[in-house]
Structure 1
């Protein structure tokens, strides 16, 4: 009986527009603009090979700033991005760092995603999936939401924070799925 029911569902769905109908559309809401400042990358040395590609750079995070509706603050020094370059040319972003809100709360962000080459092979398009660990209270919504993000490098004019020749910024725009 169960087998017949499953078959009937499969037969019905293959005749419908199942794959082209969105039953619960997803909307996005821009909740954070982060400008993250890094130093030049550190080379890990001769042990760059990893099981899933090459980890030839570590990007130390030394500061930054973030703003969004009801949330503002700084990016704390001490985090890093440890990307892996896969054999297919796609870079796996793996960044872990802390945010400090203007009212003194610490929020941890783990930003994972992909950067894939576009156009001339020199530029990359970044698509990220940040996860937050926030204290209960005012910022608890960060724990209870799903986010996607883009990374823009270099940052748009007027948003730069880097102060020296060995510093660089990237703009991360975080969107909440609704």
Structure 2
């Protein structure tokens, strides 16, 4: 019987540094007002819904303004417990600039809680995992830094709006 040789554990690279997690800096809170869902129906990838965005507010230490009634959340409920969200909307800043937002999100919870959200019922935020990663397109220089900055968020759904807190990753 041939014995397989035991390989030594790889050595840690010399000068290895313990990674430092990125710093999060609060950017703003969004209160996104939504209208009644438009049900597309069950597709081959899941239940497709479009949630019109009817307005809202943006408040924070760096970013303030309003959400224009020009967008929607294109939802795909992929199972009884999870949803892929793709919201597209426009923020008009207090200084008059407009930012186009593409906000990809993932939302999961128990089958009962997800069904309640789909019906429009209120579900306690702590029972739903709702995270997002918005990207921005801007015109002009004032907000250009948003196009090259990673922003992450945590959301919660209420019957007539979505509340999202955003952080800049430093």
Q: Alignment partner for residue 35 of structure 1, among 31, 42, 48?
A: 31
Q: Alignment partner for residue 152 of structure 2, among 136, 148, 152?
A: 148
SS in 2 for 1:143: helix
Tell me what 2:139 maps to: 135
Decide whether aligned partners of structure 1 residues 136 and 24 sit closer, same or farther in structure 2, where only a CA change above 3 A counts. farther
Which runs of no fewer than 5 residues in structure 2 stay unpaired?
1-6, 115-122
Aligned length: 150
Q: Is 1:53 aligned with 2:52?
A: no
Decide whether aligned partners of structure 1 residues 12 and 136 sit closer, same or farther in structure 2, where only a CA change above 3 A counts. farther
Could you tell me the TM-score, scaled by structure 1's length? 0.74
Decide whether aligned partners of structure 1 residues 89 and 119 sit closer, same or farther in structure 2, where only a CA change above 3 A counts. closer
Counterpart Cα distance in 2 of 1:51 and 1:169: 28
User: RMSD between aligned alpha carbons?
Assistant: 2.6
Aligned runs of 1:109-124 on 2, under 5 Å?
109-118=101-110, 121-122=113-114, 123=123, 124=128
Q: Deviations over 1:51-77 (max 9, x none)?
A: 43221x211001001012232111010
Tell me what 1:158 maps to: none
Counterpart Cα distance in 2 of 1:31 and 1:119: 32
Counterpart Cα distance in 2 of 1:91 and 1:133: 25
Counterpart Cα distance in 2 of 1:109 and 1:80: 11
Per-residue deviation, 1:119: 9.0
As a proportion of its length, which structure holds more strand? Answer: 2
Per-residue deviation, 1:118: 4.4
Counterpart Cα distance in 2 of 1:120 and 1:50: 21
Counterpart Cα distance in 2 of 1:70 and 1:104: 14
Per-residue deviation, 1:136: 3.2
Q: Is 1:85 aligned with 2:53?
A: no
Counterpart Cα distance in 1 of 2:18 and 2:67: 37
Could you tell me the TM-score, scaled by structure 2's length? 0.77
Counterpart Cα distance in 1 of 2:74 and 2:35: 13
Tell me what 2:19 maps to: 23
